[in-house]
Structure 1
Amino acid sequence: MRHLVFFQLLSSVCFFTLSEVVDNNFSKCRKFFLNDIPPDFTPPVGVSVKPICQCLRGENDNLIYLYATLYSTTWKIPIYSAYVFGSPNIGRCDNWYIEPQLDGETEPYMRPKGYGKNIGKNQAVATDYENSDYDKGHLYPVLHTNNHLSMLATSTLTNVAPQDPTFNQKVWLEHEKAVIEDLKSCKVAYVVTGVVPDTNKKKIGNSVTVSKYYWRATCCEKDSKYIGQGYYGPDNNERVTNLNIKSLQEKLNEFYQIKNFRIFSDPSKKYTADGALLQTSCFT
């Protein structure tokens, strides 16, 4: 069953914001995936996930889809968020929101504070991060947005995971800035950013799983070619490692203890407007 979840931000310029728990194929927001195909990810046994289309209701009451998230209600953190790269960003809005319907609430509006006995059962809430010594680490970062609506839509707890403050504010931040330089000349760039949970580490708040690794995969269309690049960190040197998509997928299979995780799907044959065959390497 599909549910609409609405919330209104406190600022008068923040519009009506909402997200939509959708079917497993992300039917409402497939445009944020290369070739409209979501990553092929089968969660480990016993781990529940919910696909979410993150969107806004604009001034004309129309739905504006802005990115997609696969959220684990077991780990209470996202598996990944997928978006089309844009930059530079135009500001920041630090109102944090939850999604009541992930916890079975009938209240349609997302809100900054939960109420009801089940709130927080299947998702993180703001109080889980208080005095936790962890940052709210964005998957879809504000730095990679280029409009007010996308910026606002990143401020949901379904788009963040507990991240070590030093790594978040230094190494990963520098990585996010470097990605801007890598992708700014692309005709279009698809990005999938994810979190590997540290299931052996003590959780924060009400059983919110801390991140062990952050990872990112980019696919840039440029000069009739697709160019893929993978990243994960921290590595053994507390840095971000660069690697190709195939190697990243192999790492993620190991990290998640799953098989056949595929971030970008093979587009078969894709052509430019003038009929030229695009060379693709983002799925390898």
Structure 2
Amino acid sequence: MKYSQSLSHRKMLQSSTGALLLLLPWFGGLVLGEISNDFSKCLDFFYKATPPQGFKKAGYQPICQRYKHKYRFASLYHLQGRTPLYSAYNITFEKGKKRPPPNWKYEPQLAFPKDSPDMQPFSSKTPKRVKKSQAVREDYKNSNYTKGHLNPSMHNKIKADREATFTLTNIVPQRAGSNGGPWKGLETEVLERFKAYCKGSMYVITGALPYTTERRINNRVSVPEYMWSAYCCSSYSSSLPKSMKNFFPTHAAVGRNDPDSGEEIVPVDPDANARIRGYDVRRMSLQTLEGILRRRLRTPTLSLFTGQCQ
């Protein structure tokens, strides 16, 4: 009798285990992938493990940007506009590291939810479902826009981290005058502050501010009117020079991506070199940036860093 019960119980366990193994592939994307309803798998890229609050959720997809089996940074992706609203990352740096070749990648799980959780390089032929779900290289051809990084390669130390920034889910259409001019100057400036004064982690959130009436390249990819960025370094040098007092623990900036835009957010320097005129960057406090984002994005409770990075 006992043997019969034991055999029956063993068969039930085997049956249950088999059923569970059959179900695992259906849950694989949720357990292993970076595409989910939140950033719970990559909270290390946010100050105090807290993503920005107040951004609208409808139409946006959190992505824990994964490459070579490791999370590299995080992006909030606008599905309809096929561009990130922002990317969040920690600055790391090593002198002498070179920019890797632009081997452009895409996010497989935006097209195929059960596909690889790692970003993948584009092949010679782009699958239709990939093109439908996100930007592709062809979108930028003859567009008069460069591929503008939100998480820039130069802010990353490890080679794989730098390579991971070359995914189109981290890219927005950016004018060359901005990308190679004042905005690049801002990226260099922030990196220098990190190296000289930040004693712990520097959390950066860089994003795009769309036009009030949306514009697109190739009738597909949303073009930002402005770029914006903010950082949080809560542990910094106790002997800051007077010129740096207003830059810690937080600071922010907004850059023009359209020389013909109005000057209510960022004024134009009329004496700037013609190549970069109209692509000015305005430095500002975190509170000022959050006020601009709240008004333009109509998000009255928006906050980039919990507790204002205090």
Say yes or no: TM over 0.5: yes
Which bracket does the TM-score occupy, shorter chain normalised? 0.7 to 0.9
SS in 1 for 2:179: helix
Deviation at 1:97, TM superposition (A): 1.0
Q: Is the 8 A contact 2:74 2:89 kept in 1?
A: yes
Q: Distance in 2 between matches of 1:219 and 1:34?
A: 7
Structure with max Cα Rg: 2
1:100 to 93, 108, 123: 108
1:208 aligns with 2:221: yes
1:149 to 143, 152, 160: 160
Structure 1 residues 105 and 29: alpha-carbon distance in aligned structure 2, compared to 1, 3 A threshold: closer
1:31 aligns with 2:62: no
1:12-161 counterparts in 2 under 5 A? 20-24=34-38, 26-43=39-56, 47-57=58-68, 63-88=69-94, 89-104=97-112, 107-108=115-116, 110-113=120-123, 115-161=126-172
**Corresponding residue number in structure 2 for 1:276:** none
**Corresponding residue number in structure 2 for 1:164:** 175
Q: Distance in 1 between matches of 2:34 and 2:178?
A: 31
Q: Distance in 1 between matches of 2:226 and 2:29?
A: 31
**Corresponding residue number in structure 2 for 1:15:** none
Q: Which has the higher strand share?
A: 1
Q: Distance in 1 between matches of 2:160 and 2:152?
A: 13
Q: Which amino acid aligns with 2:172?
A: A
Q: Distance in 1 between matches of 2:212 and 2:220?
A: 11
1:36-78 CA-to-partner distances (Å, cap 9, x unmatched) read: 000013328xx51111111233xxxxx3222111111021110
Structure 1 residues 107 and 28: alpha-carbon distance in aligned structure 2, compared to 1, 3 A threshold: closer
Q: Which amino acid aligns with 1:260?
A: T
Structure 2's unaligned 5+ residue stretches are 1-26, 241-247, 257-265, 269-278
Aligned residues with identical type, % of pairs: 34
1:191-270 counterparts in 2 under 5 A? 191-198=204-211, 200-220=213-233, 221-223=235-237, 227-234=249-256, 235-237=266-268, 238-266=279-307
Q: Distance in 2 between matches of 1:33 and 1:120?
A: 30
- State the aligned residue count: 248
Q: Which amino acid aligns with 1:84?
A: N
Structure 1 residues 91 and 111: alpha-carbon distance in aligned structure 2, compared to 1, 3 A threshold: closer
**What TM-score, normalized by structure 2, do the two folds share?**
0.73
SS in 2 for 1:70: strand
Structure 1 residues 243 and 142: alpha-carbon distance in aligned structure 2, compared to 1, 3 A threshold: same
1:175 to 158, 183, 186: 186
1:69-103 CA-to-partner distances (Å, cap 9, x unmatched) read: 11110211101111111124433230101123212
Q: Is the 8 A contact 1:71 1:78 kept in 2?
A: yes
Q: Which has the higher helix share?
A: 2
Q: Is the 8 A contact 1:100 1:119 kept in 2?
A: yes
Structure 1's unaligned 5+ residue stretches are 5-17, 58-62, 267-280
Structure 1 residues 207 and 80: alpha-carbon distance in aligned structure 2, compared to 1, 3 A threshold: same
The Cα RMSD (Å) is 2.4
Q: Which amino acid aligns with 1:92?
A: P
Deviation at 1:23, TM superposition (A): 3.0
SS in 2 for 1:51: strand
SS in 2 for 1:118: helix
SS in 2 for 1:260: coil
Q: Distance in 1 between matches of 2:132 and 2:29?
A: 18
